[in-house]
Structure 1
Amino acid sequence: MFSIIGGTYYENCKFPTWDELYGSGLRACLALESFDVDLHYYTCLTASARERVNSLLESKNIELTAFTSNSTVEFYYLHGLSAPRIINNTNTPITERVEVENALVFGMLDANIIVNGNRIVYDPQAPLEPKLFSENGSKCESLALVLNSYEAKSLTKKSTIDEAGKALLEESDVVIIKQGSNGASVYTDGEISNVPAYKTSNVFTIGSGDVFSSIFSYFWLEEGKTAHESASLASKATALYCDSKALPIEAKKLEKVEKLYDPLVRAKEASKNQYDVYLAGPFFTVAEYWLVNDIRSCMQNMGLNVFSPIHDVGTGRADIIAQKDLDALNKSSIIYVVADGSDIGTFFEVGHAQSKDIPVIIFSSLNLNHSETMLTGTGCEIFYDLTTSIYKTAWKVFEG
């Protein structure tokens, strides 16, 4: 019996539209439906949610143990890369003890589950205040940590991913550090390896880490594959989910992923350009400035060096500002364009970039219709999903 311990939460996103009851634990269970494994799911549920989840899992032969909760934690996202607004997040989570053999354990907002197990995969699910598996008294014979780069650095107080990974090996047998658009790094005793991300057509990130942890756990705990093999399969499963939002993950499709999507292959030499991305877009209203500022933050969180005219030059005499902006554009690897507002200055920058053979990626929240002709006809890439456009930009920069 393979156990999954995690949260069942309500998720809502405005762009793209998403309104579902999932959470890390429930999503991890449903991801494995097509795999040959008996599952036992431990979670917290209200009376109304219990009826809904119990009915769902009974039809899938997943055993449910639900601790009583007074409210369901709810996550609200503006877009896939935004920090969620969380409501019904209790300051006094319930405490329960669980005995398991092999399990995937997620950090939970509504419960403090003390686990006693044999082989455990632990995903802290808390980028701001992550906790070690043993911090609440949990114990196991063998532990794999699966966490993102922010959690790894926060737990270890290290400045680099490799330093954090090596430090976390003092607490576990295996460490997997997920890095979003840049794949994942695998740390075992005396060995470090990397697993690529796959360049999907669409990128839906909400819950992608849950899918990664679920598939990794299955292959590492149940199939006995190595940490690197398990992480590689998990990355492929994550690509399928990000591209389609669909669950369960079809086990047979994993071997076809490399035929569907190209793996990210980072350039061997660093770019000679001063900036990775020139961020072009109007910034004259509160809404326009907010969007440019948010995109810039998302890109910087991916490790991109971004030049933004309003942030890096500001306002002033037109002849001085324009020249400084164009000088920076000439030193950039790619131009990312916010097309909302159809700003004349922004499209002047597009034309300048085209004349210098600088790749152009365009984001628009509205359909450009006939306006696409000259853009797509000259090689510009246009995306109507914000998260996808930012990932596509990062991948193009990383590959050089």
Structure 2
Amino acid sequence: MRIIGGTYREQCAFPSHHELTGSGMRAAAALAGSGVEVLLTSAIHQSEQIEADVVAATYGVTANWLMRTRSVSFSYFTPLNAPVISGIGSRLQQDIDESDDVVLAFGMIESGHVKVAGRRVVVDPQRPRNLTEEDLPAVSADEQAWTLNEREVRQLTGIDDVREGAKRLIADRDLSVVVTKRGPRGALVTTAGYQQTVGACVTESVFPIGSGDVYASAFAWAWGNAGADPVEAATIASNAAAQWCETRNYPIPMDVLDGSVTRDVVPPAGSGLVYLAGPFFNLQQRWLVDVVKDALSPGVWSPSHEVGPGGLEVAKKDLEGLEHCDSILALLDDNDPGTLFEAGYATKMGIPVVTYAENLDAEGAKMLIGSGAQHFTDLSTAVYKAQWAAATRAAERAPAEE
């Protein structure tokens, strides 16, 4: 199996993460224990040669290095923030032209010509910004699958409805499979004959940086090498991505890749609405609310954005919004009385409560935690848990509302 993809420096401030990996290296490392020979073709700058060799050897990756004109790095403040990318404008110093029985090709930051061929080829565009035709590799394959996120589907088709967009990709590009990755809402598998949602796997903690890389590698392994059908492969990929999010360990265990070990799944039919409770009275508070709102979208109701600041009249409007939600995410670092009141109100209504604070006031939060609220000190985990709680409650309520 051949993997073509980037080797980039990644750093995140909260939680701390700093390593030379990137999409190609991570995907190859994830499959190092799969029993299939995995060869990585990637690009590095000459200043990274020694470190890249050490990283590849550490993870058991056989790498074919090409040179690029500049080093490339991704810097995140949190995993929920868009990265600051250094090295845009870097170029491959030679073209990539690879073939194998099974090929996984990621989009790369470096400009240059990429051509791949195989019996089954999986393409993951992996573009953090605007995606264009020039970013896609030239592919020759008996069967071809794409794994994309929702933004990429919309950019390539111009269709807002990702279900219809995925169908358009199948028809217009003669693809066998399109897998639309939807983060905490799982994935949508589309073929010429059907569409099926695969629910996200539940984890105790969530580190989402790189989860899409692991997802694509596990899907390529299961669909390309193991002969799994697209839904089975997407299910294995979801479990593999969950393993990475929870442990950040390589390689993915074989019992996960072969489907022997699976996790609980969030109901794929449940979407749910998360109420975002938190103070927004100064710059840092408003910044955090905005970051979390973007991460929760589109399934979020934020009083900061829906109602805004005001006088006593906002209380009724905020609580009316809360009553239509399926979970609440309460930002508690500032011990805001309004946020605590909203969380208590949700508890009384039977709405699941998820709280986030790096430094929780244990005495102040005693009633919330003691009445079943889930508390997390990691922001990404809190966001995912709130979405999963909303999806579960929405799915449980759906039959009664039909």
Query: Is 2:290 aligned against 1:293?
Result: yes
Q: Is the 8 A contact 1:215 1:234 kept in 2?
A: yes
CA distance in 2, matches of 1:31, 1:352: 44
In structure 2, the CA distance between the partners of 1:195 and 1:65, relative to structure 1 (3 Å rule), is: same
Q: Is the 8 A contact 1:200 1:242 kept in 2?
A: yes
For residue 241 of structure 1, the aligned residue among 232, 239, 244 is 244
Partner of 1:80: 79
The residue identity in structure 2 corresponding to 1:231 is A
In structure 2, the CA distance between the partners of 1:356 and 1:229, relative to structure 1 (3 Å rule), is: closer
Query: Is 2:309 aligned against 1:315?
Result: yes
1:346 deviation in Å?
A: 1.7
Structure 1 residue matching 2:141: 3-state secondary structure: coil
- Name the count of aligned residue pairs: 388
CA distance in 2, matches of 1:141, 1:331: 49
CA distance in 1, matches of 2:123, 2:134: 7
Q: Is the 8 A contact 2:216 2:237 kept in 1?
A: yes
1:328 deviation in Å?
A: 2.4
Query: Is 2:184 aligned against 1:189?
Result: no
1:93 deviation in Å?
A: 4.8
Query: Is 2:385 aligned against 1:392?
Result: yes
Query: Is 2:325 aligned against 1:332?
Result: yes
Q: Which moved more, 1:389-398 or 1:309-318?
A: 309-318
CA distance in 2, matches of 1:157, 1:349: 39
Q: Is the 8 A contact 1:96 1:111 kept in 2?
A: no
In structure 2, the CA distance between the partners of 1:291 and 1:247, relative to structure 1 (3 Å rule), is: same
Structure 2 residue matching 1:25: 3-state secondary structure: helix
Compute the TM-score of the two structures, normalised by the length of structure 2: 0.90
Structure 2 residue matching 1:264: 3-state secondary structure: coil
Q: Which moved more, 1:184-193 or 1:16-25?
A: 184-193
CA distance in 2, matches of 1:6, 1:294: 29
Equivalent pairs: percent with the same residue?
34
Partner of 1:142: 143
Partner of 2:399: none
CA distance in 1, matches of 2:307, 2:61: 57
Q: Is the 8 A contact 2:107 2:137 kept in 1?
A: no
Partner of 1:27: 26
CA deviations over 1:330-365 (Å, ceiling 9, x no partner): 333222211011112221222322333332211112
CA deviations over 1:188-228 (Å, ceiling 9, x no partner): 22122222211111111000000011111112222222222
CA deviations over 1:79-130 (Å, ceiling 9, x no partner): 1121111111116554503131221100000242421412311100015322
Query: Is 2:203 aligned against 1:200?
Result: yes
Cα RMSD, aligned residues only: 2.2
Compute the TM-score of the two structures, normalised by the length of structure 1: 0.90
Partner of 1:105: 105
Structure 2 residue matching 1:169: 3-state secondary structure: helix
In structure 2, the CA distance between the partners of 1:133 and 1:247, relative to structure 1 (3 Å rule), is: farther
1:74 deviation in Å?
A: 0.6
Equivalent positions of 1:1-400 (< 5 A) are: 2-58=1-57, 62-90=61-89, 92-101=91-100, 102-118=102-118, 119-132=120-133, 137-170=138-171, 171=173, 172-254=175-257, 255=259, 257-258=261-262, 261-267=263-269, 276-300=273-297, 303-306=298-301, 308-318=302-312, 320-399=313-392, 400=394
Structure 2 unaligned blocks of 5 or more: 395-402
The residue identity in structure 1 corresponding to 2:311 is R
CA distance in 2, matches of 1:349, 1:211: 38
Structure 1 unaligned blocks of 5 or more: none
